[in-house]
């Protein structure tokens, strides 16, 4: 693939393609109880070897675009901070589903906005996708709040009994979507403003 590394304008967030170097970190990310609390249907145990197989399989499918997220620390080193992707990409209708996992030790640091900005900017403006959708459990208040309030991404409805719960029963899932026009006209300016306010992703606005 042509993409080697993507950066936010301030270089604090970097996307790279998954490699064997991150297999262990991704295995820990996927099994972290904090990260699994809203994705309870995922396996409780995942090995680095399983992550490697998953990575290699997905890399052969052109419908998947996976990135490793790194954050530039104060010492000038990029640290593993999570993963994000767009999957089930439809090249005919130019749409895909997006997902994001931020490491639990990086949550609450204002990284969701610049990560989503970089991902959406790339797939819409560079890859030419017309529409991106997001799905999250109805109980995932933090993600729903970010999509609805922070980013202003449109709520498209609720899927009844969509995800199977390991303990029994089913969970409703909320669906959100953003088109290329909505990205340019509303969502992108909103995220840029928030990044400037926080000083992450874009240079902080002077008082």
- Here the CATH number for the domain that contains residue 41 is 3.40.630.30
Residue 104 has what DSSP assignment? G
Return the pLDDT at 201.
87
Q: Which two tokens stand for residue 61?
A: 């499918």
Return the pLDDT at 205.
61
In which residue are the tokens 């026009």 written?
Answer: 181
12 in a structural domain: yes
Please give the residue range of the domain that contains residue 119. 5-198
Return the pLDDT at 200.
85
Return the pLDDT at 204.
67
DSSP one-letter string for 48-64: HHHHHHHHHHHHT-TT-
203 in a structural domain: no
Number of domains in the chain: 1
154 in a structural domain: yes
In which residue are the tokens 């409703």 written?
Answer: 172
Return the pLDDT at 199.
86
Distance CA 88, CA 98 (A): 9
The pTM assigned to this predicted structure is: 0.92
SS3 state of residue 89:
strand
Return the pLDDT at 4.
75
| DSSP-derived pairing of the beta strands 95-102 and 154-164 | unpaired
Closest among 25, 79, 35 to 55, alpha carbons compared? 25
Return the pLDDT at 206.
45
Residue 143 has what DSSP assignment? H
Contacts of 115 (CB under 8 A, 6+ apart): 13, 69, 82, 84, 100, 102
41 in a structural domain: yes
Distance CA 189, CA 180 (A): 13
CA atoms within 13 A on the CB side of 39: 17
204 in a structural domain: no
CB-CB contact of 165 with 137 (8 Å): no
In which residue are the tokens 């909320």 written?
Answer: 174
For the chain (length 207 residues), average pLDDT per consecutive 10? 79 97 96 92 93 96 97 95 98 97 92 96 97 97 95 97 94 98 97 91 65
Contacts of 81 (CB under 8 A, 6+ apart): 69, 70, 71, 102, 103, 106, 111
Contacts of 33 (CB under 8 A, 6+ apart): none
Return the pLDDT at 108.
87
CA dihedral 13, 18, 24, 26 (to 10 degrees): 60
Return the pLDDT at 207.
34
């Amino acid at each position: 693939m042509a993409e080697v590394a993507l950066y936010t304008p301030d270089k604090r967030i970097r996307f790279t393609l998954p490699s064997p170097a991150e297999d262990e970190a991704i295995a820990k990310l996927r099994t972290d109880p904090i990260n699994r609390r809203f994705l309870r249907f995922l396996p409780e145990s995942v090995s680095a070897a399983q992550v490697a197989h998953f990575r290699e399989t997905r890399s052969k499918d052109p419908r998947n675009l996976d990135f490793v997220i790194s954050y530039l620390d104060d010492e000038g080193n990029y640290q593993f901070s999570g993963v994000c992707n767009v999957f089930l990409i439809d090249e005919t209708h130019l749409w895909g589903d997006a997902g994001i996992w931020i490491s639990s030790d990086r949550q609450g640091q204002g990284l969701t906005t610049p990560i989503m900005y970089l991902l959406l900017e790339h797939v819409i403006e560079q890859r030419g996708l017309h529409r991106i959708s997001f799905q999250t459990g109805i109980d995932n208040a933090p993600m729903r709040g970010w999509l609805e309030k922070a980013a202003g991404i449109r709520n498209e409805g609720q899927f009844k009994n969509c995800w199977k719960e390991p303990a029994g029963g089913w969970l409703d899932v909320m669906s959100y979507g953003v088109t290329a026009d909505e990205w340019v006209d509303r969502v992108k300016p909103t995220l840029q403003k928030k990044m400037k306010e926080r000083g992450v992703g874009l240079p902080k606005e002077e008082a």
